[in-house]
């Protein structure tokens, strides 16, 4: 969030002399700094310790209990977890140079644990001769990493979250750039090798993920896909995403569940700038179509990620869906502000204006409204995509903002229907409300319906109209509906002074 706020601050500063987001950046940086320094300097209960036997940084709880901290003491998932720390430290170091000089030597061991280059630094201060193996998790033969550490499995080593593995080396790359700029950290040539090695780890991990995790069914336009060796059977490839890749097998499931959503999203998190490099647009187009069939079943904790996935192919539709997510219910690695920032920086995004339309020229209908689902608030809230108002078959859906005035187009055009009156629709009412079948106007009815409530036409039509609340200024201002001057019981209300 600090990174997002800073980027927004840079943009706002270039547009005006005001610096409204500066406060957000400063406060966010302070919070990030306090969390990072507490973790790095072992002020937390579960401290980091150096394992002299195997040359790595492990947690104290992990050292005592093989199952603690996701098996950290047995080197399981280090690159997943330390990648987040390296990324956060790189952001902190970019914001505050003193962070690097004061705490850089605490961050370096985490970098060396997962992305040590062996070119330099392992025998330099402040590591006191500590040993770290070369790129602990990378399999140079396979072209990607394995996450299972020292735990033995019948199918050999394995890895589930290819995207978190990519995030690790992205964090390592960013930190190596920040670190190489600091004083007293190796010479220029050694620092360049450190940065280049991190780039190599990152590039090969992205290539490995696209090759072994991102699948393309044979009925898709494979010819357009650069990284599609079609190494899996057509039946397996129908799932679009590998869940867990072992040395001797592959599955479309995860350690925590078999739902397709879990398989896809554990290989999509976290959302950072490198995400757009990891996923090709052509791949996302097919993959999201596969996921969208299950969108209504998506738990809120995962929904933010699914929306970010959609944003890579349809940011405007994703923006409409994002209005309905709630940060405290999202996964702890994501927030609504991050989702909105991600969507707004995707190609093709047009920020909706106050009228609910965007600056692009959308599909329109004769009454001036938009036919696109995401530009009709209630349709977007229901997760609908494509055209809704009307749909491809000409039917105007009940969620449309602007209903057709042609009564033969859809029954929802009748102003007596609940859906045509905003508060009734918001209350989830269906059928006729204004009036209801018994002739009663419910309290949720619009004060001035688009068509006047029909009454029996009498010979004295003018007199009948003059009794309507909407025809008397004072009554209309009070939001009264029906007949006021007089009421059906013959009583003149207080707002009818002029008619008495």
Q: What are phi and psi of 69, to 5 degrees?
A: 55, 45
Instruction: Of 271, 263, 260, 381, give the one whose Cα is nearest residue 332.
Output: 271
Lowest mean pLDDT among 217-226, 296-305, 310-319: 217-226
| Residue 439 confidence class, pLDDT cut points 50, 70, 90 | low
pLDDT band at 102 (very low <50, low <70, confident <90, very high): very high
> What is the band of 408 on the pLDDT scale with cuts at 50, 70, 90?
very low
Across all residues in the chain, what is the average pLDDT? 79
CA–CA separation, 107 and 117 (whole Å):
15
pLDDT in tens, 226-262: 445 578 888 899 899 999 999 999 999 888 888 888 9
- Show the 3-state SS of the chain: CHHHHHHHHHHHHHHCCCCCCHHHHHHHHHHHHHHHHHHHCCCCCCCEEEECCCCEEEEHHHHHCCCHHHHHHHCCCHHHHHHHHHHHHHHHHHHCHHHHHHHHHHHHHHHHHHHCCCCCCCCCCCCCCCCCCCCCCEECCCCEECCCCCCCCCCCCEECCHHHHHHHHHHHHHHHHHHHCCCCCCCHHHHHHHHHHHHHHHHHHHHHHHHHCECCCCCCCHHHCCCCCCCCCHHHHCCCECCEEECCCEECCECCECCHHHHHHCCCCCCCCCHHHHCCHHHHHHHHHHHHCCHHHCCHHHHHHHHHHHHCCCHHHHHHHHCCCCHHHCCCCCCHHHHHHHHHCCCCCCCCCCCCCCCCCCCECCCCCECEHHHCHHHHHCCCCCECCCCCCCCCCCCCCCCCCCCCCCHHHCCCEHHHCHHHHHCCCCCECCCCCCCCCCCCCCCCCCCCCCCCCCCCHHHHHHCEHHHCHHHHHCCCCCECCCCCCCCCCHHHHHHC
In this predicted structure, what is the pLDDT of residue 496?
A: 76
Give the CA count within 13 Å in the CB-facing half-sphere of 102: 12
- In the predicted model, what is the mean pLDDT of residues 469-476? 77
State pLDDT tens for residues 322-360: 988 988 999 988 999 999 999 999 999 988 764 443 333
The rounded radius of gyration (Å) of the Cα atoms in the chain is 30
User: Which pLDDT score, from 0 to 100, does residue 83 have?
Assistant: 96
Q: What is the pLDDT of residues 32-48, one digit of tens each?
A: 999 999 999 999 999 99
Give the phi and the psi of residue 223 in degrees, each rounded to 5.
Answer: -60, -25
Q: Phi and psi at residue 361, in whole multiples of 5°?
A: -95, 100
CA distance 172 to 492: 79
* Model confidence, pTM: 0.68
Average pLDDT on 54-63 reads 94
What is d(CA 482, CA 54) in angstroms, rounded to the nearest whole number?
Answer: 83
Contact status, residue 242 vs residue 158, Cβ threshold 8 Å: no
HSE toward the beta carbon, residue 232, CA cutoff 13 A:
24
φ/ψ bin of 409: left (φ > 0), alpha (ψ from -120 to 50), beta (otherwise): alpha
The 10 Å Cβ neighbour count of residue 235 is 8
């Amino acid at each position: 969030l600090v990174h997002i706020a800073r980027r927004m601050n840079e943009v706002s500063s270039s547009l005006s002399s005001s610096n409204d987001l500066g406060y957000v950046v400063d406060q966010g940086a302070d919070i990030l700094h306090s969390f990072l320094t507490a973790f790095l300097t072992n002020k937390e209960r579960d401290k980091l310790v150096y394992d002299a036997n195997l040359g790595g940084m492990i947690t104290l709880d992990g050292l005592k209990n093989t199952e603690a901290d996701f098996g950290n003491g047995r080197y399981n998932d280090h690159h997943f977890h330390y990648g987040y720390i390296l990324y956060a430290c790189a952001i902190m170091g970019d914001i505050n140079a003193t962070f690097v000089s004061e705490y850089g030597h605490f961050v370096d061991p985490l970098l060396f644990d997962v992305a040590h280059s062996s070119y330099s630094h392992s025998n330099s201060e402040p590591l006191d001769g500590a040993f770290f193996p070369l790129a602990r998790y990378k399999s140079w033969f396979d072209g990607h990493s394995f996450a299972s550490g020292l735990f033995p499995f019948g199918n050999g080593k394995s890895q589930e979250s290819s995207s978190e593995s990519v995030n690790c080396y992205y964090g390592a790359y960013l930190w190596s750039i920040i670190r190489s700029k600091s004083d007293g950290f190796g010479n220029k040539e050694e620092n360049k090798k450190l940065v280049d090695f991190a780039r190599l780890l990152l590039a090969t991990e992205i290539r490995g993920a696209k090759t072994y995790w991102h699948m393309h069914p044979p009925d898709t336009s494979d010819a357009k896909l650069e990284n599609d060796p079609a190494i899996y059977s057509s039946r397996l490839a129908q799932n679009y995403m590998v869940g867990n890749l072992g040395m001797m097998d592959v599955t479309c499931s995860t350690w925590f569940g078999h739902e397709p959503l879990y398989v896809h999203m554990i290989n999509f998190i976290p959302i950072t700038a490198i995400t757009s490099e990891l996923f090709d647009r052509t791949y996302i187009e097919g993959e999201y179509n596969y996921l969208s069939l299950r969108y209504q079943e998506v738990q809120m904790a995962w929904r933010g990620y699914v929306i970010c996935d959609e944003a890579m192919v349809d940011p405007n539709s994703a923006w409409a869906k994002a209005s309905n997510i709630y940060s405290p219910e999202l996964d702890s690695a994501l927030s609504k502000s991050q989702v909105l920032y991600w969507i707004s920086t995707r190609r093709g995004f047009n920020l909706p204006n106050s009228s609910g339309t965007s600056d692009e020229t959308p599909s329109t209908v004769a009454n001036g409204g938009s036919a696109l689902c995401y530009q009709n608030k209630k349709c977007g809230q229901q997760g609908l995509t494509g055209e809704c108002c009307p749909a491809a078959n000409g039917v105007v859906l009940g969620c449309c903002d602007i209903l057709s005035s042609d009564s033969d187009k859809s029954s929802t055009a009748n102003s007596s229907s609940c859906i045509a009156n905003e508060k009734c629709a918001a209350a989830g009412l269906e059928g006729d409300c204004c009036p209801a079948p018994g002739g009663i106007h419910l309290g949720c009815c619009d004060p001035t319906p688009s068509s006047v409530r029909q009454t029996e036409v009498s010979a004295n039509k003018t007199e009948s109209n003059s009794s309507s609340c909407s025809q008397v200024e004072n009554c209309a201002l009070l939001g009264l509906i029906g007949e006021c001057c007089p009421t059906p019981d013959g009583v003149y209300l207080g707002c009818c002074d002029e008619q008495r």
